[in-house]
Amino acid sequence: MAATEQPSRGLLRAGIAAAVLALVLDQASKLWLLYVFDLGRRGAVQVTPFFDLVLAWNVGISFGWFQNESWIAQAILTAVKAIAVIALAIWMAWSRTMLATVGLGLIIGGAIGNAIDRFVHGAVVDFALFHVEIAGKTFNWYVFNVADVAIVAGVTALLYDSLLGTRAAKAP
Strand order in the sheet with 51-58: 45-48, 51-58, 124-134, 137-140
Report the pLDDT value the prediction gives residue 9, as an integer from 0 to 100.
86
**What single-letter amino acid sits at 43?**
G
| Residues facing residue 129 across a β-bridge | 52
pLDDT at 169: 46
User: In whole angstroms, how far apart are CA 56 and each of 12, 14, 100, 117, 148?
Assistant: 34, 32, 31, 12, 14
Cβ atoms of 62 and 144 closer than 8 Å? no
- Give the single-character DSSP code of 4: T
Q: pTM value?
A: 0.86
Amino acid at 95: S
The catalytic residue positions are 126, 148
Per-residue pLDDT 10s for the chain (172 aa) are 555 556 688 899 999 999 999 999 999 999 999 999 999 999 999 999 999 999 999 887 665 555 566 777 767 877 888 999 999 999 999 999 999 999 999 999 999 999 999 889 988 999 999 999 999 999 999 999 999 999 999 999 999 999 987 654 444 4
pLDDT of residue 5: 56
Do 125 and 144 meet the contact criterion of CB atoms below 8 Å apart?
Answer: no
Q: Is residue 127 within 8 Å of residue 55, measured between CB atoms?
A: yes
C-alpha closest to that of 15 among 91, 84, 93, 101: 101
Alpha helix stretches (DSSP H) within 32-122: 39-42, 71-94, 98-121
What residues have CB less than 8 Å from 169, skipping those under 6 apart?
Answer: none
Q: How far apart are CA 113 and CA 100, in angstroms?
A: 20
What pLDDT was estimated at residue 71?
74
DSSP state of 106: H
Candidates 20, 3, 7; CA nearest to 105 is 20
Apex 10 CA angle, 9 and 14, nearest 5:
115
